[in-house]
Structure formats: structure tokens, C-alpha cells
Amino acid sequence: MKITQENKKEFAEYLTFKRLITETYPTGIVSIVSDTFSFWNVVNPDGGICAQLKDKIMARDGKVVIRPDSGDPVKIVTGYLPDEYEVRDGKYYIFDIVSHKNGSPTPYTKEITELEAKGMIVCLWEIFGGTLSSTGYKQLDSHIGAIYGDSITLERAEQICQRLADKGFASTNIVFGIGSFTYQGAVTPNAIVTRDTYGFAVKSTYGEVEINGETVGKEIFKDPKTDNGLKKSAKGLTAVYETEDGFELKDQATWDEVRNCAFYPVFANGKEYVVETLSEIRARLAKNF
């Protein structure tokens, strides 16, 4: 891959995939979160990450499992059915009911990519191929698999399985998991609220590595193109300050800003600095609500 300013993130993802499947987990099953930046680049049959690493994946004694984690799981996994889109001048358009209600002359107003129309399973099939089941459905090669671990309900699981069948694929091409949507989600009149709604998740944002004997700080962040912005994480060192309006976060902070913010050590290097009971924590929370 030729490195340019535009594809540095894609190249970083490529290196991460390569390290995971050849060095960290050279054998066995390894599931890789694949939407950190550009999910469709991961499964693009035309030179995407999986396509570039196909020989290495096929040579492994085990299975590489691709795991998207943002966007509409039904559409990410299965793409669109033939009656849900049309192609005009080589471009793909889907029915956009909002635009249509606002007076658009044609219901096909929202453009999508060819990869979105295909969906993950079709893309993986085009890269790795597979076999036919005894009932005539396509089954991906045993070296590659897929999982969707969050936002899955019984209704969505049924939709995914049916849509895969409509495209000629076996339901066993996908494994479903359970995440915040299922066991923490709350249905409200306006939305389904999960920890992502409030940006409440534990993510690494900064790490230090040794390069040629020198310790170098590296910013870590997640910014999925298939997401609506809820899963975009802070980047680099973080500092929290108390203001008149409450606490505010600053990312890409300096070490001096981190040392002089509202943070204080609770647990570090095996030592407890603050010990609080659940009752004390609940009482403090109750004062703020």
C-alpha cells in the first residue's frame, strides 16, 4: 500500500490486522473489531484490508472473525435487497422516505456505495469464497467468519437471517452477540438509550511505546465511518476540569494539564488510594440528581 496523507488511518488499521493475525494470534479463532475507522475498507474486495491479507488469512490454522460494531446491523451485515435500491449511471441510490416526504421528485434520493449495497457477507464471499450447504446456501470459507456483537434484538436477528437467505447465504455465516443495546438499553418515546447515548464506555485513548530506545506517546481513538458520531471517542491524553456548568473534558491534553486537572488517583499499580462503599457512591450521586 502506498502511504499518503489521506490513507494513513487505513494503513494503521492494515498493520493492526496483520499483527493480530500473524503475530499476536497466529492460530485459532481471533475476532477483530473492524470499524475503528473505515469498516468498508476492511471488507472491500477491491484492495481492502482483508483482500490484502487474504493469503495470510487462508494460511492460518484457525478463523479470522470480522466484527463490525456501528451502524445499522441489519444493513451492515446483509446490505440491501434488489428492490431496495436502484443503480443509475453507475451510482447506487436507496429509498429515502424523509427526502421523499419533503418533496423530492423521486424516492431514490440517498446515495450509497456499492459495498453498502452488497453488505459484509457478500463482500467477504467475493474475497474468500466458500462452499454450498446441503440445502444450497453459500457458506463462507472456514478461515473467515463474521460476528455482530451489539445492537442485536430477536427482531433484528430474524431480519438478518431472512435477508441472508434472500441473497442465497446460510444463517451460519454470522454469529450474534449481546452488548449494551440488549442488556442495558432503555426504550424511550424518542430513542433507544444505551451507554453509547451518553458516551459512557471504557476506551484506551493513549499509550506509550519504545521506539529505538526512546519512549514515544501514541494517541488512540475510535471514529467509525459507519457510525452517526455517538461512538467517536476522545483522542490522546485526557484532562477533566470543573467549571460553572459542570465537568468538561479536554482531549489531546499535555501531561501538565493532566497533572493539574480534576483527576485524582483512586487505584494505581496495585495500590488503592480511595476506598468508597457503594452506599457512599449512591449518596453522592443522589445529590446531583
The answer on 260 and 162 residing in a single domain is no
The answer on 70 and 16 residing in a single domain is yes
Asked whether residue 204 is domain-assigned, the answer is no
d(CA 6, CA 130): 33
The answer on 282 and 252 residing in a single domain is yes
The answer on 106 and 93 residing in a single domain is yes
Q: Which of 165, 193, 221 is the last residue of a domain?
A: 193
Phi then psi for residue 157, to 5 deg, are: -60, -45
The answer on 133 and 100 residing in a single domain is no
Contacts of 262-270 with CB under 8 Å at 24 or more apart are 263/239
* Interval 3-49: pLDDT, tens: 555 577 778 889 999 999 999 999 999 999 998 888 999 999 999 99
Phi then psi for residue 277, to 5 deg, are: -85, 165
Of residues 181 and 105, more confidence is placed in 181
Q: What is the DSSP string of 175-239?
A: EE---HHHHT-EE-SS-EE-TTTTT------EEEEEETTEEEEEE-----TTS-STTPPP-SS-E
Of residues 177 and 275, more confidence is placed in 275
The answer on 99 and 28 residing in a single domain is no
Q: What is the reported pLDDT for 62? A: 96
Answer for the pair 143, 117: CB distance below 8 angstroms, yes or no: no
The answer on 142 and 74 residing in a single domain is yes
Pairing outcome for strands 138-140 and 130-132? antiparallel
The answer on 13 and 127 residing in a single domain is yes
Q: Is the pLDDT of residue 279 over 80?
A: yes
- Report the number of distinct structural domains present in the chain: 3
Asked whether residue 24 is domain-assigned, the answer is yes
Asked whether residue 3 is domain-assigned, the answer is no
Q: Is the pLDDT of residue 100 over 50?
A: no
d(CA 201, CA 195): 7
The answer on 174 and 48 residing in a single domain is yes
d(CA 36, CA 260): 31
Asked whether residue 214 is domain-assigned, the answer is no
What is the percent of the chain with per-residue pLDDT over 90, rounded to a whole number? Answer: 52
Asked whether residue 75 is domain-assigned, the answer is yes
CATH of the domain at 37: 3.20.20.70
d(CA 34, CA 45): 15
- Nearest-5° Cα angle at 75, 137 to 48: 80
Give the residue from 178, 171, 198, 220 showing the smallest Cα distance to 69. Answer: 178
Asked whether residue 229 is domain-assigned, the answer is no
The answer on 267 and 131 residing in a single domain is no
The answer on 145 and 288 residing in a single domain is no
The answer on 254 and 155 residing in a single domain is no
Answer for the pair 10, 18: CB distance below 8 angstroms, yes or no: no
Answer for the pair 239, 263: CB distance below 8 angstroms, yes or no: yes
Mean pLDDT of 161-183: 88
- A 10 A CB-CB count for 173 gives 22
d(CA 13, CA 34): 9
Mean pLDDT of 242-267: 91
Range of the domain at 90: 82-113
Q: Which of 134, 166, 193 is the last residue of a domain?
A: 193
Average pLDDT, the chain: 87
Asked whether residue 220 is domain-assigned, the answer is no
Asked whether residue 97 is domain-assigned, the answer is yes
Q: What is the reported pLDDT for 284? A: 87
Q: Which of 166, 193, 220 is the last residue of a domain?
A: 193
